């Protein structure tokens, strides 16, 4: 009989065969269950089946297999304690020195869009968490291994006889963290499927909200050098999220880079036609759609070329050579680019031609509707604000032309473009646009009239015949009068002001057309 024993029962079998072979080479006897046992046997590893050890078969389709005194006694037993040693001997229990367990893929299962409740319930692990917690509690005598990422280090320490109690305590801490995350995912799911239909005054996320995020990267600093910062991601972030974006080139990402990349991708993803967004401080200083990605970027950059220096670029199509050449033109400096991909030629151009080639961060991300409308969180002192993310497709059924003049076909196209851009601009938001191009944006001002002044100043003479979008209603006609001075011909806004009649009258006086959308897009 081997002097050391390991219990192995896992769902994720990544790297398991190599790890367990290493245990066997160090003199371990392996006990295992069900699919894990078959996996190890197929790999040529000698395994004792748990049911042979307990002398009790797996029952109920494997629901009951490790919940047995000889298993938990072997995990929880303290051989150095006389009373435990007596019980171990009396009941034929053979202690485990290593327990290798990871849990049923509950989080991955509920992330599937078509999962049924019975399918989800069946992925709630019972025996696994029990073994993990037992081994973690008894870490003075047992090493609990819960993640494939731990295999190499654990095996190295076993080989060098340095699997000491301090290290086992670290493994135990990770184990308790794993079961806490797992239990919270189950609790959140159960709360979701049992919640009463929410009314306007009831929380959509239950009475208790617990969130779990994993560290992805420690950042150099936050928004400013004196602030610490890190990037944490959800357990199963949508494939379309910045959390899943792959960095293909450039310096490490900063806090501000990540904020702006998220904004750049969100705006570019609004459009089906080739689109480009130029972001500074989470606001678009340029945005455009065109027949080619190169033209879309050129027009977006031309929206505000001064502000575009040191910007973040969002593109919604694979970057081709023509677009890469435009990006690299002299005098342009780009911090980062996010796109669905880069052609081989474009990648070569972007990483060899411009002066900033070694620094530019090239991010590759998935563009689709997955994950839209998900909860959005914002910390305030002492609490957390939660809301649905405002990124779902824009409904047009409630749109209403409220002026005497109807929009022309081109005006309607531009109004739709401006409305999509507007909801990504900080409030109070005013957007001037024309021919699928952002001409000027007024963002984050305390007065909507001030935002109108800024948008008109940025647009200049280009705004003649253009359109204006406002994220909330015009409270007075002055915003309309200012737009008319700039040559704006069409307006889109939510409506709902007590002075809507005056605003409509102003549009009619100026010969402008206006649409009420009945939906506001504040962004703070």
The reported pLDDT for the residue numbered 236 is 75
Dist. CA 122–CA 109, nearest whole Å:
10
Dist. CA 205–CA 272, nearest whole Å:
32
Q: Which active-site residues does the annotation give?
A: 137, 281
The reported pLDDT for the residue numbered 24 is 92
Whole-structure pTM value: 0.76
The reported pLDDT for the residue numbered 32 is 87
| pLDDT per position as a tens digit, 187-225 | 888 877 776 665 555 556 667 777 888 899 999 999 999
Residue 170 is encoded by which pair of tokens? 């670290």
The residues near 148 (Cβ < 8 Å, ≥ 6 apart) are 12, 14, 15, 16, 19, 102
CA trace torsion 260, 265, 266, 269 (10° rounding): 160
Q: Where are the beta strands (DSSP E) in 444-496?
A: 467-470, 490-493
Selection from 120, 123, 142 nearest residue 131 by Cα: 142
Could you give the residue ranges of the DSSP H alpha helices within 247-319? 255-268, 293-303
The reported pLDDT for the residue numbered 1 is 44
CA distances from 10 to 38, 127, 181 (A): 12, 11, 17
Q: What residue has token string 């910045």?
A: 242
Q: What residue has token string 């040529």?
A: 44
The reported pLDDT for the residue numbered 109 is 87
The CATH number of 4-191 is which of 3.40.50.2020, 3.30.830.10, 3.40.50.1380, 2.60.40.1220?
Answer: 3.40.50.1380
Length of the chain: 524
The reported pLDDT for the residue numbered 200 is 55
Dist. CA 125–CA 305, nearest whole Å:
56
Flag residues of the chain having pLDDT under 70.
1-2, 54-67, 195-206
Running DSSP on this structure, what letter comes out for residue 59?
Answer: B
CATH homologous superfamily of 400-516 equals AICAR transformylase, duplication domain (3.40.140.20)
Dist. CA 207–CA 202, nearest whole Å:
9
Annotate 419-443 with b (16+ C-beta within 10 A) or e (fewer): bbbbbbbbbbbbbbbbbbbbbbbbb
Please list the residue range(s) of the chain that carry CATH number 3.40.50.1380: 4-191
Could you give the residue ranges of the DSSP H alpha helices within 160-197? 165-194
Please list the residue range(s) of the chain that carry CATH number 3.40.140.20: 213-364, 400-516
Dist. CA 304–CA 462, nearest whole Å:
12
The CATH number of 213-364 is which of 3.40.190.10, 1.10.3720.10, 3.40.140.20, 3.40.1390.20?
Answer: 3.40.140.20
CA atoms within 13 A on the CB side of 183: 12
* DSSP codes of every residue in 85-141: HHHHHHTT----SEEEE----HHHHHTSTT--HHHHHHT--SHHHHHHHHHHHTTTT
Report the DSSP beta bridge partners of residue 9: 101
**Do the beta carbons of residue 182 and residue 125 sit within 8 Å?**
yes
**Given CA atoms 298, 300, 302, 304 in this order, what sign does their dihedral have?**
negative
């Amino acid at each position: 009989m081997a002097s050391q024993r390991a219990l192995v029962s896992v769902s994720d079998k990544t790297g398991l065969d190599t790890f367990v072979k290493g245990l066997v080479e160090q003199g371990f006897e392996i006990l295992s269950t069900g699919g894990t046992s078959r996996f190890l046997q197929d790999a040529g590893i000698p395994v004792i089946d748990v049911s042979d050890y307990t002398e009790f078969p797996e029952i109920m389709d494997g629901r009951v297999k490790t919940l047995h005194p000889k298993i938990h006694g072997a995990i929880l037993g303290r051989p150095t304690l006389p009373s435990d040693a007596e019980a171990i001997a009396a009941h034929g229990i053979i202690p485990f020195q290593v327990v290798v367990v990871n849990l049923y893929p509950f989080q991955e299962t509920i992330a599937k869009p078509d999962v049924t409740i019975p399918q989800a319930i069946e992925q709630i692990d019972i025996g696994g968490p029990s073994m993990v917690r037992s081994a973690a509690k008894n870490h003075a005598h047992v090493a609990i291994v819960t993640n494939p990422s731990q295999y190499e280090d654990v095996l190295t320490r076993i080989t060098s006889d340095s699997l000491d109690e301090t290290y086992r305590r670290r493994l135990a801490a990770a184990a308790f963290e794993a079961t806490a995350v797992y239990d919270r995912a189950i609790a959140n799911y159960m709360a979701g499927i049992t919640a009463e239909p929410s009314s306007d005054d009831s929380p959509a996320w239950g009475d208790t909200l617990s969130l779990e995020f994993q560290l992805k990267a420690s950042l150099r600093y936050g928004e400013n050098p004196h602030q610490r910062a890190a990037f944490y991601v959800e357990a199963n972030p949508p494939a379309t999220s910045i959390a899943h974006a792959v960095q293909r080139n450039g310096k490490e990402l900063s806090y501000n880079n990540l904020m702006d990349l998220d904004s750049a991708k969100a705006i570019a993803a609004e459009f089906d036609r080739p689109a480009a967004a130029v972001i500074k401080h989470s606001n678009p200083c340029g945005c455009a759609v065109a027949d080619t990605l190169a033209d879309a970027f050129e027009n977006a950059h031309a929206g505000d070329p001064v502000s575009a220096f040191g910007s973040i670029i969002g593109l919604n199509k694979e970057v081709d050579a023509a677009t890469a050449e435009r990006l690299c033109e002299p005098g342009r400096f780009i911090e980062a680019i996010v796109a669905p991909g880069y052609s081989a030629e474009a990648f070569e151009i972007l990483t060899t031609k411009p002066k900033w080639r070694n620094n530019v961060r090239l991010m590759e991300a998935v563009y689709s509707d997955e994950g839209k409308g998900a909860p959005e969180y914002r910390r305030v002192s002492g609490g957390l604000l939660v809301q649905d993310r405002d990124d779902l497709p824009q409904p047009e059924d409630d749109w209403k032309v409220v002026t005497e003049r109807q929009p022309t076909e081109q005006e309607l196209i531009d109004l739709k473009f401006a409305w999509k851009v507007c909801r990504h601009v900080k409030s109070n938001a005013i957007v001037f646009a024309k021919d699928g191009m952002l001409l000027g944006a007024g963002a984050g001002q305390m007065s909507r009239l001030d935002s109108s002044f800024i948008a008109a100043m940025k647009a200049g003479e280009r705004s003649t015949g253009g359109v204006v979008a406002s994220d909330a209603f015009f409270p007075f006609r002055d915003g309309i009068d200012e737009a008319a001075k700039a040559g704006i011909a069409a307006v889109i806004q939510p409506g709902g002001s007590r002075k809507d009649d005056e605003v409509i009258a102003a549009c009619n006086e100026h010969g402008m057309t206006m649409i009420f959308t009945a939906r506001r897009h504040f962004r703070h």
